[in-house]
A and B are shown apart, each in its own frame.
Chain A
Amino acid sequence: MSRIKAVDILAGGFVVLIGVLAIVESTSFDMGTSRRIGPGYFPFYVGVLMVLLGLVIAVENLWTRTASDFGWSLPPMRSPFLILAAVAAFAVMIERFGMFPSIFVAVFLGSLADTNTSIWQKLTISVAVPAVCVAIFKYGLSLNVDVIRWRP
C-alpha cells in the first residue's frame, strides 16, 4: 500500500514540477492584460492549473484506491535502455555514415533487448532490416538519404 502512495506522490510531484517550470518560463514574457493577453499569460495559467492538479493527484489516492492499483513495481530497465540506445545510434550515425550502417547498428542494439534469440538470429535481422529499408525507402520511395557515406 505504501508503494502505491509512492507512485501517486511521484506522479503528483511530476505534474507540480512541470507546472512550476511553466510558471517560471512564463515570467520571462509579458503577461499582457486580459484584454490583450501577452505571450506569458496562457503558460502562466496552465502552469497554475498543473500545480493544482499535481497536488490533487498526490492526495487523490488516499480516497479512491482500487484493487487494480496494487502490485506496482519498477519495470525492467534493459529494454528501454537498449531501444533508446538504438535511436541514439541512428541519430548520431545517419548523417555521417548513411542509412545502411546506421540502421545496422540501431537494429543490432535494439535486438539485444530480446534475450530469447541467439546471436545469429540477432545478426541476421541486423542485416536483413537495413537491406529491406534501403529497398523500400531508397529505391521504392526515393528518399533523399545516402545508403552509405563517409563524413565522420
Chain B
Amino acid sequence: MSDFASNLALGFSVAFSWQAMWYCFVGVTLGTFIGVLPGIGALAAIALLLPLTFGMEPAHALIMLAGIYYGSNYGGSTASILLNLPGTPSSAVTCIEGYPMSQQGRAGVALFMTAIASFIGSICGMLIMAIFSPPIAALAFSFSAPEFFSLMVLGMVAASTLASGSPIKGLAMIGLGLILGMVGRDLYSGLLRFSYGVDQLYEGLPLVAVALGIFGLPEVIKNAGQITGRTVEARSISFASMWPTRDDWRRSWGAMFRGTGLGSFFGALPGTGGLLASFMSYATERRVAKDPSRFGKGAIEGIAGPEAANNAAVQTAFIPTLTLGIPGDIVMAIMLGALTIHGIQPGVSVINNHPDLFWGLLVSFLFGNLMLLILNIPLIGLWVRILAIPYWVLYPFIIAFICIGVYSVSNSVVDLYVLMFFGVLGILMNILRFEPAPLVLGLILGPMLEENLRRSLTLYRGSYTVFLTRPISALFIGIAVLILAWTIYGMFRARARRRAALAAGGE
C-alpha cells in the first residue's frame, strides 16, 4: 500500500507541473476538436501530431498524445448525437439512441449524459489501470521469449477475429503487416529485406507515413465532396436544457457501471478496444432493459452504457501497452511507435524503468478527464459551432497537415512517396474489404514477434514444443486456439443457418 501511495506521489510530481498540465490541456482540447469533426479519427490525428512531440520530454509527449485519444472519445459523441454522423468509430453506436434524443429536443440531456458517462468510465478505467498494472508487470517479469511470442500471437488473433469484418481477412492483414514490418535492415544479418532497391528504407517503414497513408488519406478521399450541406441548427444548448430528469439518472447509473465493466475488460485484452466494447455494452443494455421497445427511439441507457464502455476501454488499453509492450488497441500500437521514437523500448521495462512516465501519465488522466468534463459540459456550445464548419473548408487543411506532418518527421521526400503508396494500398483495401487496423498492429508487432521467435528457438534448441510446455505460454496459445475455434464455429453456424433459410424458402 505504501508502494501505491509513493507511486501516486511520483505520478503527481510529474503530472502536476505547469508544462505537463499544459500539454495535457492541449491534448484533450485537440482530441475533443478532432473527435467532434467527422472525417478525421484519433489515429490519424495522433500520427499527424507525433512529429510535433519530438522535441518534448517523453512523459509530456505521451501525456499529450494520450489526451488526444481519450479527448476524441468525448468529442466523438457530439456529432453522433447532433448529426447522426459518428465523429469516431467507437461512438457510432451512440447515434442509435443519441440522434433520436436530439430530434426530440433532448440533445442537451444526451450530450450531458455522454460527458458524465465518459467521465465515470474513464475514472474507473484509470483506477483499474492503477491497481492491476503493477501485478501484471510483476508477473511479466517471469516471462521469457516464448511467453512474449505466444502473447503477441494471442493479441493478433484476438485483434483480427474479434474486430469487425471477416476474421480470415483480418488475419491476412496481420500477415501483410508482419511482412511490411520486415522492411529494412535485419538486426542479425544486417541485410536489407523487402526494400526493393530503396535504400532509404533501411530503418524500416516510416510509421507516420504508413498510418496516415492507410487511415488518413482514404478517409479524406471517401468524404471529399460527400459530406455536404449538413446544417446544425444554431440553437443554443443552455445549461438548464442539459440537466437530465430523475428518471434519466435512474436509468443511466446501472448502464454506466455495466458499460465500464465491459469496457475495462475489452480494453485490457490486447488487440481489442473501444469499438467492440461499446457495441457489447449497447447489446447488453438492450437485453437487460425491462422495456426493450424503447430502444432506437432515444433510450438514454443506450448512450450512457456505450460511452462509459469506450472510455473505460481507452484507459485500460494502456495496461497491456505499458506493462507488456503489447498494444491494447490500434491507437496504442501507434503510441508504442511513439515511445520507440522517444527512445523508450516498449516492453515489461516501461513501468519498472520509467515509473515517472507510467504514473505521471496515469495521474494526467485524472486531470485530463476533469478538463474534459469542463470542456464538454459548460463549453459544449463552442463544439456545436465547430460542427458547422463545412467539409470543403476542412479537408484541404487535412491534406496539407498530412503532407507537412509526414515530411517533417525526417525532412524526407521518400516518406511522402511511402505515404502515397500506402494511400493506394488503403484504397485497394477498401475496395477489397480489408480492415486496415490489423495491418498496423502486425507492422508494429512484426519485429518483436520475429525477435522473440528467434530467441525462443535459440534458447530451446530449435524446438517448437517450448511454446506448449511452458505453462503461461501454453495458456496464451490455448486461448488463441479457442478464439480461432469459436470463430470457425461461428462461420459454420452462419452457413448452416443460411442453408436452413434457403431450404425454408423452398429453393
Q: Judging by beta carbons under 8 Å apart, are B494 and A64 in contact?
A: yes
**A105 to B494 Cα, complex, angstroms:** 51
Q: Judging by beta carbons under 8 Å apart, are B225 and A145 in contact?
A: no
Q: Judging by beta carbons under 8 Å apart, are A14 and B225 in contact?
A: no
Asked whether B205 is an interface residue with its Cβ less than 8 Å from the other chain, the reply is no
Q: Judging by beta carbons under 8 Å apart, are A91 and B413 in contact?
A: yes
Chain A residues positioned under 8 Å from B194 (CB to CB): 22, 25, 43
Given A42-B450, A66-B494, are A79 and B179 also a contact pair (CB < 8 Å)? no
Asked whether B141 is an interface residue with its Cβ less than 8 Å from the other chain, the reply is no
Nearest B-chain residue to A48, judged by Cβ = B175
**A43 to B392 Cα, complex, angstroms:** 43
**A36 to B191 Cα, complex, angstroms:** 16
**A106 to B220 Cα, complex, angstroms:** 14
Q: Interface size on B (CB < 8 Å)?
A: 67
Tell me the chain A residues, 1-52 only, with Cβ under 8 Å from chain B: 7, 10-11, 14-15, 18-19, 21-22, 25, 29-30, 33-39, 42-43, 46-47, 49-50
Interface centre among A43, A90, A117 (most CB of B within 10 A): A90
Nearest Cβ on chain B to A139's Cβ, whole angstroms: 14
Asked whether B428 is an interface residue with its Cβ less than 8 Å from the other chain, the reply is yes
Asked whether B424 is an interface residue with its Cβ less than 8 Å from the other chain, the reply is yes
Interface of chain A, main secondary structure = helix
Q: Judging by beta carbons under 8 Å apart, are A11 and B220 in contact?
A: no
Q: Judging by beta carbons under 8 Å apart, are A83 and B220 in contact?
A: yes
**A102 to B408 Cα, complex, angstroms:** 14
Chain B residues positioned under 8 Å from A144 (CB to CB): 411
Asked whether B224 is an interface residue with its Cβ less than 8 Å from the other chain, the reply is yes
**A50 to B404 Cα, complex, angstroms:** 35
Choice from A18, A50, A91, A110 contacting B396 with Cβ under 8 Å: A110
Nearest Cβ on chain A to B348's Cβ, whole angstroms: 23
Choice from B228, B430, B495 contacting A116 with Cβ under 8 Å: B228
Chain A residues positioned under 8 Å from B402 (CB to CB): 87
Q: Judging by beta carbons under 8 Å apart, are A29 and B179 in contact?
A: no
Asked whether B12 is an interface residue with its Cβ less than 8 Å from the other chain, the reply is no
Given A50-B179, A53-B168, A87-B419, are A7 and B433 also a contact pair (CB < 8 Å)? yes
Nearest Cβ on chain A to B375's Cβ, whole angstroms: 21
Interface centre among B188, B189, B194, B396 (most CB of A within 10 A): B396
Nearest Cβ on chain B to A118's Cβ, whole angstroms: 10
Given A7-B433, A37-B457, A42-B182, are A90 and B403 also a contact pair (CB < 8 Å)? yes
**A107 to B191 Cα, complex, angstroms:** 40
Given A87-B217, A87-B423, A106-B399, are A29 and B393 also a contact pair (CB < 8 Å)? no
Given A30-B189, A63-B491, A125-B392, are A57 and B168 also a contact pair (CB < 8 Å)? yes
Q: Judging by beta carbons under 8 Å apart, are A29 and B193 in contact?
A: yes
Asked whether A84 is an interface residue with its Cβ less than 8 Å from the other chain, the reply is yes
Chain A residues positioned under 8 Å from B450 (CB to CB): 42
Q: Judging by beta carbons under 8 Å apart, are A50 and B416 in contact?
A: no
Q: Judging by beta carbons under 8 Å apart, are A50 and B458 in contact?
A: no
**A109 to B59 Cα, complex, angstroms:** 39
Chain B residues positioned under 8 Å from A10 (CB to CB): 432
Nearest A-chain residue to B498, judged by Cβ = A65
Asked whether B176 is an interface residue with its Cβ less than 8 Å from the other chain, the reply is yes
Tell me the chain B residues, 373-415 only, with Cβ under 8 Å from chain A: 391-393, 395-397, 399-404, 407-408, 411, 413
User: Closest 7 CB pairs between A and B?
Assistant: A35-B462, A91-B416, A34-B462, A114-B225, A113-B224, A11-B432, A63-B495
A sample of 11 inter-chain contacts (CB < 8 A) reads A36-B457, A39-B191, A42-B453, A46-B178, A53-B175, A65-B498, A103-B400, A106-B400, A116-B225, A143-B408, A145-B411
Since A103-B400, A125-B392 are in contact, a sample of 4 more A-B pairs with Cβ atoms closer than 8 Å, ordered by chain A residue number, is A43-B194, A86-B399, A107-B400, A116-B225
